[in-house]
Amino acid sequence: RLYEAEVWIDGGTQIFFSYGVGIGSLLALGSYNKFHHNCHRDAIFVCCVNSFTSIFSACVIFSILGYMAHQKGVEVGEVVQSGPALAFLVYPEVVLAIAPSPFWAFLFFIMLLNLGLDTQFSSVESLMTGLVDNWPEQLRPHRKKFTLGMTVFMCLLGLPMITRGGIYVFQLMDFYAASGLSLLWCVFFQTIAICWVFGAKKFYLCIEEMIGYRVSMYWYVCWVFLAPAFMVFIFVFYFVRYSPITMGAYHYPAWGEVLGFAISLSSMLWVPGYAIYYLLSTKGSWSEVLRQGVTPVIKPRKEAVMAEEKARLTYQDVRDVELNIEEDLCDESFVSYDSKKCLGE
């Protein structure tokens, strides 16, 4: 199935979801860290834990699917299709076969509940942080009430997915909105904005200033070349090997696919749409507007300003010490001939 675009799209977006890339949860939660917090160490730790968890889960999942395939006398691919049926139909059937089944069933659904709550906490926090930081004067005093209102609103939006035909709505949203092109598109332009507009070298130096040492150049190569190339490859491959969405044996009608692409475009069009709006609404020549548009407008945190000033003062103090040493070495009372020669005398 490596020739199917859906496999690559699902694999790429699963990486985005599992690592929190493009969702905003890492940015929202990381914004509470202190300025000199070692984000590089945390990133390595999260990647290792996440990868180990994925490998361990894959071993458990395919062991269960292999057991069920052996019991039914079919291939593993014929046991169940990917999707919600895997968690809510296949796993409960396996849990019932393990003694004592009530105990394992309790643990399994508690795990699902905690997994869902944890995901919602990070997702809602990323949304609330972005909105509140954008309108701090209006929303920050009423953050709790605003969060409650948005949570109720999002709950109402999800109610159609638990109706009799809600699984088809869920599959449509999952394929075109959650794990489709929209997330890949947004992450691609985030990467371009940080590494090509703001500048990967500046970003690299910012990390060094925060953690106190330089990270490997491997990350620089990934930011500038490998990550954008990988996302462009998946994006192009998606359209070259596109296959219509299905739900088991059910094939969605043409208007369903159009609705799915409309859902994707509702997130994707904001990137070029705002760029066009900015070019048309900003005064000045095209070159001036373009230069102004790609110039980062960042309001540094108080800790960042203090760290920058401290680094500047430290550098100045070190430079003053070096100049004092050079002046002492050039003193006629004790300077040697070699020292005078190296200083240009």
Phi and psi, residue 250, nearest 5°: -85, 130
pLDDT, greater one: 149 or 53: 149
Residue-wise pLDDT tens digits, 311-329: 666 655 656 655 665 565 4
Between 83 and 166, where is the model more confident? 166
- The 3-state DSSP class for residue 251 equals strand
Per DSSP, the three-state class of 250 is strand
What pLDDT digit, counting tens, does each position of 123-154 carry? 888 888 888 888 888 888 888 899 999 999 98
pLDDT value of position 82: 63
The tens digit of pLDDT for each residue in 243-260 reads: 778 777 788 888 888 888
Point out which residues pair with 251 in neighbouring strands: 246
- pLDDT band, residue 242 (cuts 50/70/90): confident
Residue type, 185: W
- Residues contacting residue 168 through CB under 8 Å, at least 6 positions apart: 247, 250, 252
Chain-centroid distance of CA 151 in Å reads 22
Alpha-helix runs per DSSP H in 35-179:
39-72, 84-85, 91-96, 101-134, 136-139, 143-158, 166-173
In this prediction, residue 24 carries a pLDDT of 76
Determine whether 165 is exposed, middle or buried from the number of CB atoms within 10 Å of its CB (0-12, 13-18, 19+).
exposed
SS (H, E, C) 262-285: HHHHHHHCHHHHHHHHHHHHCCCC
